[in-house]
């Protein structure tokens, strides 16, 4: 079971934000989603963050770098550009993966699980079930 794993979605597009939250909730993850980045969000202490590269009022690449280096948790970057340059820039900013906005729900869930395993976060329950009450 994966509902002890919490994922924060920072996405400006309401339809994409809802789609991401729905796909991850269906896969058993606890999700919280917001339309823009604020350092106050760091108080939520998620296990993973999914962030839009073109945030309203901010730079998703810079936020990705800050989040990854500050929290040491996995970050997936979402964007519209499917070129190799976008992937390269995302990885250089500290992203663990880069998805385009037209994503496959099952591939997203499988990728999230694989990344969490690499970080030593079990997707089968990790003893922190009560940590995210109210997340």
For the record, the structure tokens of 92 come out as 């250089």
Cβ-contact 61, 87 below 8 angstroms: no
At 13-29, the pLDDT tens digits run 899 999 999 999 999 99
Q: What is the pLDDT of residue 131?
A: 36
Calpha distance 92→7 (Å, rounded): 22
Nearest to 29 by CA among 3, 49, 68: 3
Compare 128 and 71 and report the one with higher pLDDT.
71
Domain 6-118 CATH assignment equals 3.40.50.2300? yes
Single pTM value for the model: 0.82
What pLDDT is stored for residue 38 in this prediction?
Answer: 75
């Amino acid at each position: 079971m994966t509902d002890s794993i919490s994922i924060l979605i920072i996405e400006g597009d309401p339809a994409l934000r809802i789609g991401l939250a729905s796909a991850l909730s269906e896969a058993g993850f606890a999700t919280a989603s917001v339309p823009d980045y604020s350092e106050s969000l760091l108080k939520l202490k998620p296990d993973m963050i999914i962030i839009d590269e073109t945030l309203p009022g901010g730079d998703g690449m810079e936020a990705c770098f800050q989040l990854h280096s500050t929290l040491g948790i996995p970050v997936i970057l979402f964007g519209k550009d499917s070129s190799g340059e976008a992937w390269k820039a995302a990885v250089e900013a500290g992203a663990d993966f880069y998805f385009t906005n037209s994503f496959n729900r099952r591939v997203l869930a499988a990728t999230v699980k694989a990344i969490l395993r690499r970080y030593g976060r079990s997707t089968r329950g990790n003893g922190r079930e009560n940590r995210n009450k109210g997340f």
